[in-house]
Amino acid sequence: MLQEVASALAGVALGLSLAAPPGPMNAIIAEESVLRGWGSGFRAGLGAMSADACFFVLALLGVVTVVRDVPVVQQVLFGLGGLLMLYFAYGAASDANAAFGGDAATDGAGEATDEESKGFRKAFVLALTNPYQILWWLTAGVGLLDPGTFALDALGGLTVSTGSPVIVVGFFAGIALWITGFPAALVTVGRRVDAFAPVVAYLSAIVLALAGLSFLSKATEILA
């Protein structure tokens, strides 16, 4: 029983290690949350989580390793991902301008009423072309899927079973925890600070733009 609990908690930690770090995915979740409400932010998170489910299946089939072994595939992913990030950065900046100008119509709960949220599609497509997310599956993801055990000496030698259903469930539970709590925290702060939403949207645009330029630069390096 203790081993199963330890495995589940290890899975949650792995899920958070993928979902929580700042980056393009969280930039989209943040933008959707502060401008369109918790539901839109959560749906954006579901988009990224759905992409991870796809990577999980591809990793089981061994397809993800193609990215590591074929440089041209890396180049295409970096290039396409960079262009998408720049495009979404432009959209985030436009949304921020609308928010500052008072053009973004929302209802009492902070949900968008004049525009369908596209956060799920944006996050899903961007995650599928995010080579760093794929690289996570080639590193930490390997440890998640590879059957075996390892001891947690700091916790009295408890063992964690990798490659088990328990740790996989814990992994996706960790992602679900983040995509639920992160938008909620942003919406809570946004309701108390009027300028919070457009500022976060501008910051999201900056993060996406910098990531996009970095990805394009990386694609050029691979080509060279």
In angstroms and rounded to an integer, the radius of gyration of the C-alpha atoms of the chain is: 19
- pLDDT band at residue 223, thresholds of 50, 70 and 90? low
Helix axes 71-100 and 131-138, enclosed angle (nearest 10)? 130
Q: Across the chain, what does the average pLDDT equal?
A: 82
Q: Per the structure, how many domains does the chain have?
A: 1
State the pLDDT at residue 103: 53
Q: Tell the burial category of 60 from Cβ atoms under 10 Å away from its Cβ (0-12, 13-18, 19+).
A: exposed
Residue with tokens 């996009």: 212
159, β-bridge pairs: 151
Report which of 91, 68, 93, 80 is spatially closest to residue 215, judged by C-alpha positions: 80
From 129-133, 140-144, 181-185, 201-205, the region with the lowest mean pLDDT: 140-144
Return d(Cα 132, Cα 40) in angstroms, integer.
Answer: 24
In a domain? residue 110: yes
Tokens of 133: 């997310």
State the pLDDT at residue 123: 93
Q: What is the pLDDT of residues 87-110, one digit of tens each?
A: 989 888 887 777 665 554 444 344
Return d(Cα 131, Cα 114) in angstroms, integer.
Answer: 34
Q: Tell the burial category of 120 from Cβ atoms under 10 Å away from its Cβ (0-12, 13-18, 19+).
A: buried
State mean pLDDT over 39-58. 93
**Do 171 and 14 meet the contact criterion of CB atoms below 8 Å apart?**
yes
Amino acid at site 165: P
State the pLDDT at residue 105: 43
Return d(Cα 209, Cα 224) in angstroms, integer.
Answer: 23
End-to-end Cα spacing for the chain: 53
In a domain? residue 175: yes
In a domain? residue 85: no
State mean pLDDT over 133-148. 80
Q: What is the pLDDT of residues 10-32, one digit of tens each?
A: 889 989 989 998 888 999 999 99
Give residue 192's domain range.
Answer: 2-65+100-197
Strands (E), 87-188: 148-152, 158-162
In a domain? residue 17: yes
In a domain? residue 181: yes
State mean pLDDT over 30-56. 93
If phi over 0 gives left and psi between -120 and 50 gives alpha, with beta otherwise, what is residue 112?
beta
State mean pLDDT over 105-127. 65
In a domain? residue 88: no
In a domain? residue 125: yes
Half-sphere exposure of 55 (CA within 13 A, CB side): 30
Q: What percent of the chain has pLDDT over 70?
A: 85
Q: What is the pLDDT of residues 146-200, one digit of tens each?
A: 777 766 655 555 677 777 889 899 999 999 999 999 999 999 988 777 677 778 8
In a domain? residue 147: yes
State the pLDDT at residue 114: 39
Return d(Cα 205, Cα 97) in angstroms, integer.
Answer: 11
pTM: 0.82
From 38-52, 56-70, 209-223, the region with the lowest mean pLDDT: 56-70
